[in-house]
């Protein structure tokens, strides 16, 4: 954990000649963890200034940053020095002592969003039981795109490739579905107690090949974004390799390199402290959270069915309006030559003249309705699918936890009881195996059990953190409702405008009421 030695002096005594800009306080709040700014954070902040290395080193020396951290006062001084260096002044501590202006100068540091992510990471290290991230923070970890590339066709087979880009790594690579499968298998082995969403199945019965390919592309996009935005998984070399390796046959290469990598518990610095991280009521809290998220999952699944229905109804509405227009066109084309029917009355002929105009407007209405269907599917269902993916991943995680760690723990206890029973039987029966040897074996087994207990505690800690991660993603629900409202307003407004355009034409086609 991060520890700091506080300076005796404060802003009142060290910077007395001017007012502290609000920017200084904002930067401190952005960079500080446990009431100080780490050496790593200060280094990144200095680089943001764009100053030459000689100037940065000079500021580093003046602030005595070698001690490993900066207090609030030291950071404020450093910001003032950076600003003066950007103005071309020669740097000296006397600039601070002799300052006579109203407010200390504000440096230009550019985009500081990556520092906020680093701060969140350091805060999690200081407080390992608190995620401390909202959905927007998770989105800043990376933005991934997955696009189809032109299909490669051979003599006997064809396959689909995807162009995968990562904003974080600044890379663009090509991947096939089996490459995703290899990554999924490795991540599941490496992070058994973390949220690993499901991959789309190799085959899906959803209609045409084009529809299947597009559905799978969207699913892979959601999957990769959820994985790359996981605050623990996104730091792992396996994921970095997937985004950056540009050689051939990655699905086998990535397995070959990482197949012997141990799971997270084995390598985590928190493993030995697992029991400290788990509260006495953890199992009760886990059961409560699991039930809560189960209910949320059911509601989101139902909401997804409703939004799918909205999109289908909009599509059907568009088709109906197109068919209505076609029928009006047919009626407008009806010859109407029978004198028996008209008897000199031209009302029907006059009505037919407006049918052509109305049918064209109905074509516009159909297009608007189909566009509404696309918006409901693309904008609304995409967000719901993303939320549903993370909720289902939590359900899968709970199932893995029950079948994995808890089962292993029970097996270890069963073995321990068996050894104790054998010890008693060995003493009573006078078997050759000595009591000392049995005790030694028991000690060895107890060590294993202790390790399993630590693993169980660590898994519960992870479940706690993953529960917080799910709740961070629940902010998506607000986005879903907002998108639902805006999409419906836009769609109904567009349809209403078309109907308003149609109404005068219909009025002209109606026969006038006879005079009595």
In contact, 480 and 384? CB cutoff 8 Å = yes
Burial string for 461-487 (b: 16+ CB within 10 Å, else e) reads bbbbbbbebbbbbeebbebbeebbeeb
- Helix (H, G, I), strand (E, B), or coil: what is residue 161? strand
Radius of gyration of the chain (CA): 34
User: Considering the entire predicted model, what is its pTM?
Assistant: 0.70
Other CB atoms within 10 Å distance of the CB of residue 307: 21
Of the pLDDT bands very low, low, confident and very high (cuts 50, 70, 90), residue 268 is: confident
In contact, 220 and 162? CB cutoff 8 Å = yes
pLDDT confidence of residue 301: 93
- Hey, which bits of 23-150 come out as E strands? 37-38, 69-70, 144-148
Of the pLDDT bands very low, low, confident and very high (cuts 50, 70, 90), residue 244 is: very high
Rounded to an integer, the average pLDDT of 237-246 is 93
- Helix (H, G, I), strand (E, B), or coil: what is residue 33? strand
d(C-alpha 45, C-alpha 14), whole Å: 22
Q: Over the stretch 39-79, which tens digit does the pLDDT of each residue have?
A: 878 888 888 888 899 888 888 888 765 566 778 888 888 89
Two tokens at 514?
């006879």
Of the pLDDT bands very low, low, confident and very high (cuts 50, 70, 90), residue 271 is: confident
What residues contact residue 224 under an 8 Å CB cut-off, 6+ apart?
A: 144, 146, 164, 180
Q: Give the chain's mean pLDDT.
A: 81
């Amino acid at each position: 954990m991060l520890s700091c030695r506080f300076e005796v002096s404060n802003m009142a005594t060290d910077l007395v000649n001017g007012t502290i800009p609000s920017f200084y306080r904002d930067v401190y709040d952005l960079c500080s963890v446990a009431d100080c700014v780490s050496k790593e954070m200060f280094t990144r902040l200095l680089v943001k200034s764009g100053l030459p290395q000689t100037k940065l080193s000079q500021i580093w020396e003046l602030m005595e940053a070698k001690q490993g951290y900066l207090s609030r006062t030291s950071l404020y001084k450093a910001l003032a020095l950076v600003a003066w260096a950007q103005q071309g002044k020669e740097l000296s501590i006397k600039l601070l002592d002799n300052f006579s202006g109203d407010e200390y100068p504000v440096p230009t540091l550019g985009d500081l969003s990556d520092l906020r992510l680093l701060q969140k990471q350091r805060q999690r290290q200081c407080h390992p039981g608190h995620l401390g991230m909202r959905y927007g923070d998770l989105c800043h970890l990376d933005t991934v795109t997955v696009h189809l590339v032109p299909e490669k066709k051979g003599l006997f087979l064809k396959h689909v490739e995807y162009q995968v880009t990562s904003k974080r790594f600044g890379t663009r690579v090509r991947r096939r579905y089996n490459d995703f499968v290899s990554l999924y298998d490795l991540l599941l082995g490496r992070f058994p107690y973390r949220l690993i969403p499901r991959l789309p199945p190799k085959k899906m019965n959803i209609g045409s090949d084009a529809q299947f390919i597009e559905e799978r592309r969207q699913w892979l996009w959601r999957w990769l974004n959820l994985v790359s935005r996981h605050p623990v998984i996104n730091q792992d070399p396996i994921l970095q390799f997937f985004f950056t390796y540009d050689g051939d046959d990655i699905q086998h290469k990535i397995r070959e390199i990482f197949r012997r990598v141990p799971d997270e518990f084995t390598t985590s610095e928190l493993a030995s402290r697992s029991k400290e991280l788990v509260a006495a009521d953890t199992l009760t809290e886990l059961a409560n959270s699991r039930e809560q998220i189960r209910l949320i999952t059911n509601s989101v699944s139902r909401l997804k069915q409703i939004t799918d229905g909205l999109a289908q109804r909009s599509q059907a509405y568009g088709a109906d309006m197109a068919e209505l227009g076609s029928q009006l066109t047919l009626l407008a084309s009806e010859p109407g030559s029978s004198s028996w029917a008209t008897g000199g009355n031209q009302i029907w002929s006059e009505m037919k003249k407006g049918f052509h105009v109305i049918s064209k407007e109905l074509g516009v209405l159909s297009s608007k309705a189909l566009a509404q269907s696309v918006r409901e599917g693309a904008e609304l269902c995409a967000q719901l699918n993303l939320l549903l993916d993370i909720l289902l991943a939590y359900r899968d995680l709970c199932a893995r936890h029950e079948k994995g760690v808890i089962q292993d723990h029970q097996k270890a206890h069963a073995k321990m009881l068996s050894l104790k029973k054998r010890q008693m039987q060995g003493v009573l029966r006078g078997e050759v195996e000595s009591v000392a040897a049995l005790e030694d074996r028991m000690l060895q087994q107890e060590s294993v059990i202790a390790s399993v207990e630590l693993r169980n505690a660590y898994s519960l800690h992870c479940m706690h953190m993953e529960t917080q991660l799910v709740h961070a993603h629940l902010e998506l629900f607000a986005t879903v409702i907002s998108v639902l409202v805006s999409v419906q307003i836009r769609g109904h407004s567009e349809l209403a405008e078309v109907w308003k355009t149609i109404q005068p034409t219909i009025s002209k086609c109606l026969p006038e009421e006879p005079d009595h």
